[in-house]
Structures are given as structure tokens and as C-alpha cells.
Structure 1
């Protein structure tokens, strides 16, 4: 009898331990047929992926340690639904890989993670709010598309006081003899009051690879030989407001680009968008963006409709049009390149339309 009671007690303790922990598997798959004009003077019809939301699979979990203290982790990997390929070969969890503690003191997180400009301000951009990858800014120098995360990072986020929360993080460069080479810094604040949310954010990335932003800068005669930036410094502000069935968003970013040539041009971006939930299953999205770099400018307008088949499955139709002006001779829409990267059009204008399906789990 004693053995039976001990076995029952052990089973109860084990069940209690499991009840204090949880792990969630989540993800997103998105594919659509897109028409893109003016790629080298020609047009193309293709299958695009991740237009509404990035394709990804992730694992997040927490363990209750008692006293309102929790251990947390998150692992997230991006992929392409159309090919099954990884966007960053060699990085299994290219989007997120972190572990940390949270409690009454706030939260400390360590690992590979997006910066605070994306986490706070990026969520008020047209690309995010209007769910259209093509609407992120030329070159993605402000990282609102979450294509450059911090490695070797430590982040601290405060508790929320009267709607106000602040956060700061550092990504260590880990170069012997130099504390600044490869180092990334970011900070921000967010305030929520009913239907209003406002954010401010800052990031400075040292020695970041130019990547596809190099082709963008070359199109306006800047940074043609740069493969690595000395630094990118971004300041951002965003606002969101909900009125009945209408959600409004706006964001402003300014990026100082410190090039190896000692030039330091600035890119300024402004978004204004609205999402109207006009029927039980339908949302109409309308957006406008203006980007400036020295004497060059790009105006982008967008229109889309999202129809929900369920809470997890949506059908969408989208259109985005960009026109270059001033010193800019070419449209540069995010994601129009044949490899899915930032592409430079064959002339001053470009149109992208997509009809697709998005499913989350």
C-alpha cells in the first residue's frame, strides 16, 4: 500500500511540474502568383512566397520558476514556401534564437534577435501593418523588414508603468582588442493608452554587410564599391490609432549611412496607412510611402484586400506601385529581384500585383 501511495504522489508531482511549463509550435506559410513589370525592361509572372507574412516555423516556451519568475526561450527559422530553401544557409534559426528570464523586474533575453527599431517602430510600417513585403523601404537600410538581426545580443526590457515600457540591447562584436568592431546597439520606448500607441527607437550597427542595399545605393551613384558599411545609425518614431473598424498607422525613420568612402548620406522614410475592416471577413488596406536619399526620392502607393476564410487562413489580392523622382532614375521596390531580394527596376516606375493565400498555425 505504501508503495502505491508513493507512486501516486510521484505521478502527481511530475504532472504538477509539467503543468508549470509550456511549449508552443507556431508558423506561417504564404504563397501567391505575382506579376512584376519592368525587370530589365520586361515583365514576369511567378510564384512568390512570404508576401503577407514571412514564411517561418518557431518554438517558444516558458517554465514557471515560482515567485513570478519565468525562464523563457524562442527558436524561429525562416524558409521559402515556393522552394523549401532557407534564406540564410548555415543558420538553422536565422530569425530568432534566445533564452532568458522574466519577472517583476522586467525581462532579460540573450542570443540572436531583431533590434528594437524593428520590434517597436517596424510594427507601424506599411509593410507590417498592411501585410505587404513589397512596401518596406528601398534597400531596407532601416531594417524594418527584419532581415538583419543582432548576434551575441543581450536585451533588457522594463516592466510596463502606466502604459510606458522601455528597452535596450547590445550585440557584442566579439573582436579581440576592439570593443566597437561589429558591435550593435539599440534602445527604444513604447507607450500605450487605449486605442493609441506611440514608439521611439534607435539603433546603431557597426560594420554591417551591405548586402542587397549595395545595389540600391549604386543605382543613385552612392556606395558603389561598398560591401560593408562603417555604420548605420537609425532613429525611428511610430504611431498607431484605432477608430471603430479603422486602424491607422504611421512611421518615420532616418538612417545615417557611414560609407568607407567617408561619405555619410541620409535616407528618410515616411509611411501612412489605413486598414478598414469593412465586413466580418474582409479588410481593405491603403498605404502611401515616401523615401528620400540626398536628391533622390521614391513614392509608393498600395491597395489590397484580405478575405479571412477562418482565424488562421486568408486569401488576398494586392497591388503596389512605385515611382522614382529627382535624382533617382530607377524604382527600387523591396523583394522584386528574381532571387527575392531588393531589386532595381529597369526604369523609374514599377508595378507588382499578387493573388495569394496565407495560413498560420
Structure 2
């Protein structure tokens, strides 16, 4: 009889624990027909994915542990709608894989996650605010496109103090005998008060793979073909403000690359506006100026997003870039290198979130 009562009690406790938990499945799919007027001297028409928002599927959950304490987790994988392939064949949950605790003390999170520059400052960039992947800066050195998450990381985020939240993050390099090898550090502050948002963020990545930035530096004859940076340091600050149906954003980022034989500095400025001129339509306008040593890039963009429902949108967008100074070839994010100092890309597509 005691055994029966124990089983019943244990079952009841388990059911109660599950009742305090919740799991959310979410995701985004985006595809559009894009035309780029010049890639290596030739035009190309293609089906692009993740232009308005990155394609992804994720699982997010919390468990109420009582007295204000919660356990949290997130698993998020990126993929390509046009091919169905993972954006990183070596990692199932390549965008996020975290577990942590939150409460009155703030939140502690452990695992694989984006850095604080992306989390705080990236949301004020033209690429994010104006929903156009091509508007992220040449080479994506500041990782605003969320393509370089921190592995083996621990993050602390404070409670909100009258709208001010602060975060610090440390990614272990996990190399025996050298604590700095592969180490990542990030910190930032985010202030939100009514229609105003202000951010300040910092990140330093040691031994980061160059990735797409290697192609960008190669178009300038810089980097000597480096595939790994000794370090990459990013400082970002920005502001956002909403006035009625108009949302304004401004962002400045500075990136310093340390290479075996040299160092390079890139500076970027974003200015953008989104106007919801009626409940279903948003008109987005943006300007970006980027400078890397003597190379300069100026970009303008325009798009219109039409909401068919709360979850489904269709869009038309265009971006034009002109290179100057020591930059002889335009190169917008992920378009491919132009054979001239100018390049434009247009996309008509559809986005659905779930």
C-alpha cells in the first residue's frame, strides 16, 4: 500500500512540475527572386533565402521553479528555404543552444549564443530595422548578421534598472596551456524608455575564422589571404526612436582586425527610417557609409513590405552601393564582388513566421 501511495504521489508531483513548464516552437521562412546587376562583370538572377529575415526553426522553453526562479532553454537551427540545407552542416543547432536560470538577480545563460554586439546593437542596424540582409556591412566584420556565435559561453544579464539592462559574456577558448586562444569576450548596455532606445556594446574575438570577410578583404588586396584573424574587436553604439508611425534608427560600429603582420580598422554608420503609412504597408529607407583604411562604400536602400496577415508578408526591395577611394569594386553583403565600383540588387519575395 505504501508503494502504491508513493507511486501516486510521485506521479502527481511530476504532473505538477510539467504544469509549470512551457515550450514554444517558432521559426521563419523567407524566399525571393533577386537580380544582381554585376557579379564579376555579369548579371545574375537567382532565388535567395533569408533576405528579409533569416530562415530558422527553434524551441524555447521555461520551467517555473518557484519563488521567482525559472529554468530556461533555447535551441535554434538555421537553414535555407531555397535548398532545405542547414546553414552549418557541422552543427544541428547552429544559431543557439543554451540553458540557464533567471530570477530577481537577472539571468545566467550557458552554451552557444550570439554576442552582445548582435543582441543589443544589431537590432538598430539597417539590416535588421529595414529587414534586408544586403544592408549588413561589407565583410560582416561586426557580426551584425549573426553569423559568428560564441561557443562554450557564459552570459550574465542584469535585471532592468529603470529601463537600463547590462550584460557581460565570456566564451572559453578551451585550449590547454593558453587561456587566450580562441577566447571571446563581450559586454554591453541597453536602455529603453518609451519610444527611445540607446545601446552600447563591445566584443573581442580571438582566432576568429575570417569567413566571408576574407573575400571582402581580398577584393581590396588586403589581409594577405588570411583565413583566421589573430583578433577582431568591435565597438558599437546606436539609438532608435519612434514618432507616431515612423521608426528611426542610427548605428555606429568600429572594427579592428589584428593580422600576423598588420592591423586594419573599419568604421560603419547606418541611418534608417521605416514609415507605416497605412496598417498593411511599411516603407523603408536607409543609408550606410563604410570605410576600411582608404576604401569607402556608400549604400542607399528602399523597400516596401506589405502584410497579408500578422505572420505573412510580401516585399520588394532594392539596394545600391558605390565604392570609392582605394576600393575599386563594389561588394554588398553576400552578393559577390562587382567588376566595377557600383552594384545594385533588387529582390521580390515572401516571408512567413510561425
What TM-score bracket applies, with the shorter chain setting the length? over 0.9
Name which of 329, 344, 348 aligns with 1:351.
Answer: 344
Call closer, same or farther: CA 1:328–1:6 in 2, change over 3 Å: same
Task: Give CA deviations for 1:312-361 in whole Å, capped at 9, x if unaligned.
Answer: 0000000000110111001111121xxxxxx2212111110000000000
The reply to whether residue 302 of structure 1 matches residue 295 of structure 2 is no
The reply to whether residue 170 of structure 1 matches residue 170 of structure 2 is yes
Task: Give CA deviations for 1:198-243 in whole Å, capped at 9, x if unaligned.
Answer: 0000000000011121111121121022111000000000100000
The within-5 A match list for 1:142-181 is 142-181=142-181
SS of the equivalent of 2:215 reads: helix
SS of the equivalent of 1:224 reads: helix
SS of the equivalent of 2:238 reads: strand
CA distance in 1: counterparts of 2:285 and 2:296, whole angstroms = 20
SS of the equivalent of 1:127 reads: helix
- The aligned counterpart of 2:353 is 360
SS of the equivalent of 2:93 reads: coil
CA distance in 2: counterparts of 1:241 and 1:139, whole angstroms = 28
> Which segment is superposed worse, 140-149 or 12-21?
12-21
- The aligned counterpart of 1:73 is 73
Aligned residues: 353
Question: Are 1:215 and 1:224, in contact at CA under 8 Å, matched by a contact in 2?
Answer: no
TM-score (norm 2): 0.97
- The aligned counterpart of 1:339 is none
CA distance in 1: counterparts of 2:308 and 2:14, whole angstroms = 40
CA distance in 2: counterparts of 1:14 and 1:75, whole angstroms = 24
- The aligned counterpart of 1:290 is 289
CA distance in 2: counterparts of 1:201 and 1:307, whole angstroms = 33
SS of the equivalent of 2:225 reads: coil
CA distance in 1: counterparts of 2:7 and 2:183, whole angstroms = 54
Q: CA deviation at 1:19?
A: 2.2
- The aligned counterpart of 2:242 is 242
Question: Are 1:108 and 1:155, in contact at CA under 8 Å, matched by a contact in 2?
Answer: yes
> Which segment is superposed worse, 289-298 or 4-13?
4-13
Root mean square deviation of aligned Cα: 1.7
- The aligned counterpart of 2:268 is 269
Q: CA deviation at 1:15?
A: 4.4
CA distance in 2: counterparts of 1:91 and 1:355, whole angstroms = 30
- The aligned counterpart of 1:227 is 227
Task: Give CA deviations for 1:39-89 in whole Å, capped at 9, x if unaligned.
Answer: 111111111100000000000001000010000000000000000011111
The within-5 A match list for 1:48-87 is 48-87=48-87
Task: Give CA deviations for 1:228-278 in whole Å, capped at 9, x if unaligned.
Answer: 1000000000100000000000110000110112x1110000000000000
SS of the equivalent of 1:121 reads: helix
Call closer, same or farther: CA 1:56–1:179 in 2, change over 3 Å: same
- The aligned counterpart of 1:20 is 20
Q: CA deviation at 1:192?
A: 1.0
CA distance in 2: counterparts of 1:283 and 1:67, whole angstroms = 43
SS of the equivalent of 2:274 reads: strand
CA distance in 2: counterparts of 1:221 and 1:170, whole angstroms = 33
CA distance in 2: counterparts of 1:173 and 1:8, whole angstroms = 47
CA distance in 2: counterparts of 1:116 and 1:8, whole angstroms = 46
SS of the equivalent of 1:160 reads: coil
CA distance in 1: counterparts of 2:9 and 2:287, whole angstroms = 63
SS of the equivalent of 2:143 reads: coil
- The aligned counterpart of 2:97 is 97
CA distance in 2: counterparts of 1:256 and 1:45, whole angstroms = 35
Moved over 2 A (4+): 4-19
CA distance in 2: counterparts of 1:7 and 1:100, whole angstroms = 30
Q: CA deviation at 1:18?
A: 2.3
Q: CA deviation at 1:281?
A: 0.5
